[in-house]
Amino acid sequence: MTGEAQSDCSGRGDSMGDSDGGDAGAQQNRNRVKQFSELQLSAPLQQQLARANFINPTPVQAAAIPPALEGQDILATAQTGTGKTLSFLIPLIERMPKDQKGATALVLLPTRELAMQVLEQWRNLTRSEGTAALVCGGLAEAPQLEAIRRGARLIVATPGRLEDYLQRKLVKLSGVKMLVLDEVDRMLDMGFKPAIKRIAAALPVERQTMCYSATLSAEIRDVARDYLKNPVRVEIGSALKPSPNVELRAFEVPVDKKQELLEHLLGAHEGSFLVFVRTKHGADRVARRLSRSGHTATQIHGDRTQSQRSAALRSFAQGRHRVLVATDVAARGIDVADVAHVVNYDLPKEAEDFVHRVGRTGRASSLGVASTFVAPDETGALRKMERTLAITTKKFRVRPNAAAAGAMA
């Protein structure tokens, strides 16, 4: 299939009710659909799924779609690359009222890139350009507002720009019957909690809400209590653990040898490289040096314009650039298939960021490699991260006078 599931990922779908949650989960597991054709979907949607070669649902899709089709709220924890987008788009398409004008569904996401990817998949499934509106910063307002005025039935938005339109009375959300909060943990990290609250206040109380997160922190549970009613709980694999499809490597390397080591890895391995750095200036510097060394490299970070970021992502996805250098600000907006190698050029500060970075490779049933560069004074931080994630990285040490890696003692 062309989905994003991890082949050995296990899922659980159960009610969050106090009395019968386990029984509901067990029943749902027994009734888990094996193919999209088993779902009670409209003929046009079944045809589109078949045309896109979506045959077998991923675990998150198999667990979330059936109760979502019944109108139940969903609280799902699953990593990027597990097929979350399709798990909420299919119910949105099927349950969208056919006779209602204006917005009936709203999807909130943390970044422009993610919003644009969701919109693209919606259009692929519906074969329709005019039924959805993109609402996000960094793009011209006029086309967004025109799509809303034309009666877009789905709004895919980032919280900041949508709240701005609400305050200026440029959009009405009183007809929204379905709300999706995707990557909600990241939205909270980015400070969008107040905006989400104000947007939710503009929605009807009676609605279906689906909430997706990579983790289930106390803050996420608060969001679930505030916005969801008796949600079906869907948990796919570990909420904070890299995919088993990814080989984890760590290189102890002096800071001034990182660039040399990166170029060594590029020469030793085939495929595309996604390189994560800590700062915008670092991204520019690494990409510039790689280009001077003859590698096709581009970069994406918060200081680049939307057109530059879109062009960089498109060029990387299409293979015109082999290397994409990115900061964590843009990390959740990168959804590119078949990334062979992720490189943590700078050690991430949080274990969660490590998981999200590494999650860009080893997707579906393919294998991937993630290499983390660790300065000599960061080995303690690496060990702490390994304990937090219950993982072990294969360790190498770079000799001070060469970029060739030898086994760490």
Tell whether 346 and 253 lie within a shared domain.
Answer: yes
CA–CA distance, 296 with 290 (Å, rounded to integer) = 7
Q: What is the pTM of this model?
A: 0.64
**Total tally of structural domains belonging to the chain:** 2
Query: Could you report the per-residue pLDDT of 10-67, keeping only the tens digit for each?
Result: 343 444 433 333 333 333 443 567 899 999 899 999 999 999 889 999 999 999 999 9
Q: Is residue 2 part of a domain?
A: no
What percent of the chain has pLDDT above 90? 59
Last residue of a domain, one of 236, 261, 282: 236
Residues 202 and 253 in one domain: no
- Domain boundary (207, 236, 265) is at 236
pLDDT grade, residue 2 (50/70/90)?
very low
Same-domain pairing of 311 and 230: no
Q: Which of 58, 236, 31, 36 lies closest to 125 in space, CA to CA?
A: 36
- The answer on pLDDT for 406 being more than 70 is no
Look up residue 302 and give its two tokens. Answer: 């918060």
What is the mean pLDDT of the segment spanning 242-260?
A: 93
**Host domain of residue 357:** 246-407
- What's residue 99's pLDDT? 78
Residue where one domain finishes, among candidates 236, 271, 292: 236
Q: Provide the CATH number for the domain around residue 320.
A: 3.40.50.300
Domain membership of residue 90 (yes or no) is yes
Residue 3 domain-assigned (yes or no) = no
Residue 132: inside a domain, yes or no? Answer: yes
In a domain, 134, yes or no: yes
Q: What is the pLDDT of residue 380?
A: 94
For the segment 372-385, the average pLDDT, to the nearest whole number, is: 95
Both 134 and 39 in one domain: the answer is yes
- Reported as a single tens digit per residue, the pLDDT across 187-208 is 887 889 999 999 999 999 999 9
**Do residues 223 and 294 share a domain?**
no
Per-residue confidence (pLDDT) for residue 334, from 0 to 100: 67
- Does 381 map to a domain? yes
Using a CB cutoff of 8 Å and minimum separation of 24, what contacts does 85-89 make? Answer: 85/117, 85/118, 85/121, 85/182, 86/3, 86/54, 86/57, 86/58, 86/61, 86/121, 87/57, 87/58, 87/60, 87/61, 88/64, 88/180, 88/182, 88/210, 88/212, 89/118, 89/121, 89/122, 89/125
Is residue 301 located within the same domain as residue 167? Answer: no
The beta-carbon contacts of 351-356 under 8 Å, at least 24 apart in sequence, are: 351/240, 351/385, 351/388, 351/389, 352/185, 352/214, 352/215, 352/240, 353/328, 354/242, 354/385, 354/389, 355/79, 355/214, 355/240, 355/241, 355/242, 355/389, 356/79, 356/80, 356/214, 356/328, 356/331, 356/332
* 193 within some domain: yes
Do the strands 132-135 and 297-300 form a parallel or antiparallel pair, or are they unpaired?
unpaired
Highest mean pLDDT among 85-94, 183-192, 211-220: 85-94
Regarding whether 137 and 155 lie in a shared domain, the answer is yes
Q: What are phi and psi of 135, to 5 degrees?
A: -130, 105
Indicate if 250 and 319 belong to the same structural domain.
Answer: yes
In a domain, 6, yes or no: no
Is residue 192 domain-shared with residue 263, that is, in the same domain?
Answer: no
Q: Are residues 147 and 264 in the same domain?
A: no
- Is pLDDT larger for residue 271 or for residue 101? 271
Whole-number pLDDT of residue 400: 66
Ramachandran area for residue 208 (φ above 0: left; ψ -120 to 50: alpha; else beta): beta
Statement to judge: residues 90 and 186 lie in one domain: yes
| Token pair for 324 | 């994409």
Together in a domain, 193 and 263:
no
Of 109-113, 152-156, 243-247, 402-406, the range with the lowest mean pLDDT is 402-406
Point out the least confidently predicted range of 128-132, 177-181, 204-208, 219-223: 128-132
C-alpha to C-alpha distance for 357 and 370, rounded to whole angstroms: 9
Predicted confidence at residue 93, as pLDDT, reads 94
What is the distance between the alpha carbons of residues 357 and 44, in angstroms, rounded to a whole number? Answer: 36
User: What does the mean pLDDT of the chain come to?
Assistant: 85
Mean pLDDT for the stretch of residues 111-138: 89
| pLDDT, tens digit (0-9, with 9 covering 90-100), for 122-131 | 998 988 767 8
- Closest to 407 (Cα-Cα) out of 389, 395, 390, 393: 395
Highest mean pLDDT among 110-124, 207-221, 285-299: 285-299
Mean pLDDT of 339-354: 90
